[in-house]
Amino acid sequence: MQQIQFVKNIQFTRLIKAEGRLREFNFRKMRVLQETLFSIDVVDDRGNRIMFRMRKDDQHWTIIPQTLPQWVTEQEKRMSEMIEEELA
């Protein structure tokens, strides 16, 4: 008999003030090769979707290095706090 395993899907959206305006950050938990990551996307002023991932290093979630606008990277600590709140 095959056992069915259920995995809780975690997706949430938070408004964060970045570069002088409220922006909608969308978070989605994902598993990649036994590692838990969060995929995050946000729209810039021109309507382009910026997508990036965060991983947990020690106690904090950090952005996986890539070229991102400064207003995104400045929010790393706040996004880490929001992920922890959602997982609690």
Kindly tell me if the per-residue pLDDT of 7 is higher than 80: no
Residue 17 burial (CB count, 10 A):
11
Q: Output the pTM of the full model.
A: 0.87
Confidence of residue 37 (pLDDT cuts 50, 70, 90): very high
For residue 1, pLDDT over 80 is answered with no
Instruction: Say if CB 40 and CB 79 are below 8 A apart.
Output: yes
Higher-scoring residue by pLDDT: 67, 34: 67
Provide long-range contacts, Cβ within 8 A and 24+ apart, for 28-35: 31/7
Distance CA 41, CA 18 (A): 14
Summarised one tens digit per residue, pLDDT across range 43-76 is 999 999 999 999 999 889 999 999 999 999 999 9
